[in-house]
Chain A
Amino acid sequence: DAGVIQSPRHEVTEMGQEVTLRCKPISGHNSLFWYRQTMMRGLELLIYFNNNVPIDDSGMPEDRFSAKMPNASFSTLKIQPSEPRDSAVYFCASRWTGVSGLGYTFGSGTRLTVV
């Protein structure tokens, strides 16, 4: 199994530009989570999906952020327009909820720098 795959690994963009981060969860996993990690705030949950449906987006900072999961094998997190304070590492994680005791698997993250 290739694990959770995120792309790109690094992204440098100018303020005001649109940024799209991508995630492919582990095949068979039906829950997907987007986290953001910064030095100041640690790991924060932005949004999570269950069976492709957004369940809780209360962590999404503002309307500039949006996330979609068009099918079970792909999700995107979009920031439009981007701002320097969005600079962080964005992680995607997935889990199979078929058994309540199973844990989460994280991707390697996308390091976003907005200049």
Chain B
Amino acid sequence: KQEVTQIPAALSVPEGENLVLNCSFTDSAIYNLQWFRQDPGKGLTSLLLIQSSQREQTSGRLNASLDKSSGRSTLYIAASQPGDSATYLCAPRGNTDKLIFGTGTRLQVFP
């Protein structure tokens, strides 16, 4: 059974910092891994989708890396802004077509 852990659980930083959010998963037999953002009281917004054959995926100030064999993914946020404040969730997808979510990292970026 896939288990997903995200560290840290919460993070509070001043704007401008470069951030590292970690995701680890127990079953490395995945097709891909998706990072989502969730604003309070809102739905999930897809940020990045990284395939199992890829090492990295980039979108603007966001960069996701994947080390499938060690069961890890990292989301880098460059030059953080207050608008980045949200909960970030990672979700690996295995061969059962299920997305299993981590508990998330709650990020607050203050001016």
| A7 contacts partner chain B, Cβ-Cβ < 8 Å | no
Closest partner residue, chain B, to A109 (CB atom): B43
A94-108 Cβ-contact flags toward B at 8 Å (1 or 0)? 010100111111111
CB interface residues, A 57-84, toward B, < 8 Å: none
| B81 contacts partner chain A, Cβ-Cβ < 8 Å | no
Residue pair B43, A100 in contact (C-beta under 8 Å) = no
Residue pair A43, B43 in contact (C-beta under 8 Å) = no
CB interface residues, B 69-111, toward A, < 8 Å: 89, 91, 96-104
Residue pair B49, A101 in contact (C-beta under 8 Å) = yes
Residue pair B46, A42 in contact (C-beta under 8 Å) = no
Residue in B32, B96, B100, B103 whose CB lies within 8 Å of A103: B32
Q: Which residues of A contact B31 (CB under 8 A)?
A: 100-101
Question: With the chains together, A64 CA to B25 CA distance in Å?
Answer: 32
Residue pair B99, A33 in contact (C-beta under 8 Å) = yes
Contact-size category for B: 20 to 34
Residue pair A103, B49 in contact (C-beta under 8 Å) = yes
Q: Interface size (A, Cβ < 8 Å)?
A: 24
Residue pair A45, B99 in contact (C-beta under 8 Å) = yes
Residue pair A107, B43 in contact (C-beta under 8 Å) = yes
Residue pair A105, B46 in contact (C-beta under 8 Å) = yes
| A56 contacts partner chain B, Cβ-Cβ < 8 Å | yes
Q: Which residues of B contact A43 (CB under 8 A)?
A: 89, 101
Residue in A56, A95, A107, A108 whose CB lies within 8 Å of B96: A56
Residue pair B46, A104 in contact (C-beta under 8 Å) = yes
On whether A48 and B49 interact (CB within 8 A), knowing A42-B104, A91-B43, A100-B31, the answer reads no
Residue pair B44, A103 in contact (C-beta under 8 Å) = no
Q: Which residues of B contact A56 (CB under 8 A)?
A: 96, 98
| A113 contacts partner chain B, Cβ-Cβ < 8 Å | no
Residue picked from A42, A43, A109, most chain B C-beta under 10 Å: A43
Q: Which residues of B contact A33 (CB under 8 A)?
A: 98-99
Q: Report the 5 A-B pairs with minimum CB-CB distance, sorted nearest first.
A: A43-B101, A103-B49, A106-B44, A108-B43, A103-B34
